[in-house]
Structure 1
Amino acid sequence: MALAGAVLLTTAPTASADYIRDQQWALNVFAAEDVWTESQGEGVTVAVVDSGVDASHPDLTGQVLQGKDFTGGGNAQEDVLGHGTAMAGIIAGHGHGAGNSSGVMGLAPKAKILPLRTLQTNTDRNLDETWGAAVKYAVDHGAKVINLSFASDGGSKTLSAGREAIAYAQAHDVVVVAGSGNDGVSAVSEPAALPGVVSVGAVDKDANLWDKSNTGEGLTLTAPGVDIVNTNPTASKGYGLGSGTSDATAFVSAAAALVRAKYPDLTAGQVINRLIKSATFAHHKGLKAPDEEYGYGIVRPYSALTMDIPAGPKKNPLGQLSSSSSTSNKASQGTDSSSQAKKKKSSSSNVLGLVGGIAAVLVIGAITFAVIRSRRKGGNGGPGSSGGVSQGAGYPPAQQSFPNSAPNHGYHPQEQSLQPPNPYGQQPPSQNR
C-alpha cells in the first residue's frame, strides 16, 4: 500500500491556534454553531477503521476510546501515519485552550471515537480480513456509525470477509460510511459501492465537485473534502491540510452521529434517509437525484437535524448487503461502466491514500501562514500549489458560498452578494442502486 500524495513537513514556528480554527471553512459553511444548538453527537460512538488515532492530541483528549489494534499487536491510540487521527479530528475534535477556542473542532465534538487500527504505515496492505474484523468489533462494542476512509486498490472487489462484516453491521443497525475514491474516474470504489453503504464524494468550498473525486452510479452524498485542516500527529506542529474523499467521508460520518444523537429511535436506514432528503445540489441546476457526480446532493447537517422529514420505512433506502451473497445489484451497477471494466481484478488490498492521502498532508506553520497572508493582501485567493494541494484557504469572502439549511445559515453579511443556493428538497431516494 502506498499513499497517493507526497508528504511535506517543515520546521517552521507554530502558527497561532486561532489561525488553525479560522481555516476550518467547512464549519462556517455548515453554520456549525447553529448545528451544535441541535446536536453535538453526545452519546454516539463513531468507529474509525484506519491507522489508529492519537489519543494524546490536545484536540482529541478524552474523546478516544481504547479501541483495538488489528495489525498484530500495538496500541490503537497510537498513529504513526496520521490519517486516522485526521479523520477523528474532523468527526469529533473539541479544540483546546480557553473555551476550546483554539485548534480543530469536529462537526460532532461530543461523539466518541473508537479507534480500530488496521494498518500502521503507508506500505501496509489494508486487507479485507483485517478491516472486516475491525468492522465486526466496532458493531460488538457499541459503534453506531463506522467510518471507512479508504478505497479498494486498483478497483479490486471486496472479498467475503469485508462483505460479511458490512452485512453484519447493517444487520445490527449501524450506519456504514465510505469514500468513493480519489482516482477521478466514473466508478465508485468498493467498499463504498456495496449495497447499503453511504458512499461519499468530495466538493470544494464553492460546492463544486473535486476533480479527483470518483463518481458514478451508486454515489450517495458529497461533502467538503478540499483544503481541510486536520489533526495530524505526524506533522511537527500537530496540524495538517489535506484533500480527499477521506475527509468528506468523515464529515458525513459526523453528520450521521449528530442525527443519531438527536433522534436515537431512528434506525440506521432512517438516519440515512434523513441525510439524503436534506441534502442539496446548491447552485447546480437541473440535476436529478441520484446524480452520478453529486449523488443525492451535498450533506447539510443543520437541515438533517431540523427539517420535517417523516421517519419512513425502517429499511435502508440504499439497499441491504446479504451476508450469503457474493454479488449484489449495487456492486454490479458500480462496476459495469467502461471505466471500471478496465480496472484490475486483484486480491483486495485497500488503500487509505486513494481516499484521503491524494492531497499532501502538510504543517500549517509560518511558511504557510506567510503565503496565505500575502494572498489575502494581494486579493488572489486561489489555490496555492500544484499537485492538488492548496497551502491555505486564503479565499475572498464571496467564494464561501455553500449549501446551507436556511437563509443566513453559514452566510455572513459580507458574503450575501452571492445568490443563496436552491436546496435540493425531499425527493424520495431511489431504491434502484
Structure 2
Amino acid sequence: MAAGLVISAPASGVGKTTLTLALARAWRNSGLRVQCFKSGPDYIDPAFHAAATGRASVNVDSWAMDRGTISHLVSRGIDADVVLAEGSMGLFDGVAARGVCGTGATADIAEMLDWPVLLVIDPSGQAQTAAAIAAGLRDYRPGVRLAGVVLNRVASPRHEALVRRALLDAGIAVFGALPRHAEISLPKRHLGLVQAEEQAEIGKLIDEAARFVAEHVDLDAVLRSAATWSPQPAASGVLETPPGQRIALARDAAFSFVYPHMLEAWRAAGAEISTFSPLADEAPDPVADVCWLPGGYPELQAGRIAANARFRGGLRAFAETRPVHGECGGYMVLGSALTDADGIRHEMTGLLGLETSFAKRRMHLGYRLAELAAPMPGHQAGARLRGHEFHYSTILAQPDTPLAVVHDATGAVIAETGSRRGQATGTFFHLIAEDR
C-alpha cells in the first residue's frame, strides 16, 4: 500500500518542484521508497525527480494519453511507500477543449487517481487573501480534494501568523511555512529549469532543500494526509511504436528533451538505443537503422554544432540510406541555418531547408494534434499524433513539403507543419502519444 499525493499550486513559479524534491529526498532519507511523476508536458522535471528518489520518473498527461496509458505508467509506483505527482502551472490550468481524457490540468490526474492535493502557496504581497485563494481552489471542482497547504517565501513571523490564522479559519490545514532561502533556488533559463544533468551540485542542493523543508514542515502530517493507494499491476498499457530496431539517439546538453516514457516504450517493444553527442562531434551509430534528434538547447550551442564537421558529415551520410527525425531543437539542426541570440547565422546540417532565428524571439507554446501527410519513423501516413510545442525560435523559411496538418488544442491550424525531404523528417512538437 502506497501513500498518494498531488503537489500543485495556484500558478507556475511558486515552488512546486523544490517542495516535491525536498519531500521526496527527506522521505527517502528516512528509509521510505518514493516514486515521482510529472503531470503535463514537462521533459525537464522528471530528471530532477530521479535525482531525488533514485527511481525513474515519467509524465502523465490527460490531454494526450488515455486512462489505460496513465494507469500503466502510474503502476510503477506499486512497490513504493510514497507516490508524488508534481503538477504543472496552476491546479486547474489546462486547455479549453478536452483531449483524450481531460484538458491536461493537474486536477484531472488528482481526480482520476483520487489523490488529495497539497497546495504550495506563495503569499508574497498578500496575507489573508492567500486563504481566499486556497479556499477557492478547494471548492472549485467537487472531485478534487485538498489535503492542505505549505506556505512558501513568507516574509516574517508576523506575516506567517496572519496567513496561518486565515487558512485555519477557512478550515484548511497548514503543514508548514518556508522563509525565503536562496540556497535551495533552482537556476532557470528560457525553457524552464537548467537541466539536472548540467548541475554538478544538484545532489547537495536537493539535500539542503530536504533539510530546510524538514525543519519547517510537518512531514508526518503531510504523509498522513495522503491517500492510501493500492494500484493493480497494469498488464501492458498503450506502448508507442519505436521508430526502428536500433535507434541512434542524440544525447547531450543540446539534445536532451525527450519524454522518459517514450524511451521506456521503445525499449519495452524490443528496440535498442545507442546515444551519441553532436556537441562532442560524434556521428550516429553506423549500424543503427534510424537516427532521432530530440529537442534541447541547440540555439545556445549553434557555433559548436556548426563547427563539428564529423557530426554534420556523419549525419548526412546516415540520411542517404536511413531515416532521420528531429523534434524542435533537433528539427532546427536538421535545417539549413540557425541564427543565434546575437544575430550570428550558423550553418546546420542542411538535411531540410528549414531556417530559424533565436534572435527574433517569439514564444510558441501549447498542445498539438498532427495528422501525418506522409510517414515518419514509427508512424504511418494518416496517423494522429499528440504532442506539445514550446520554443522561442522564429521560422525564417520552411520550404520543404509539409509533414503534417497540425492543429492546436482549439482545433486551429498552425503554421508549424513540420517538414520532410528524402529520408529526413522533423516537427516542432515533441511527441507524447499516438491516438489509437
TM-score category (smaller protein): under 0.3
Larger strand proportion of the pair: 2
TM-score by length of 2: 0.26
Greater relative CO, 1 or 2 (CA 8 Å, sep 6+) = 1
Larger radius of gyration: 2
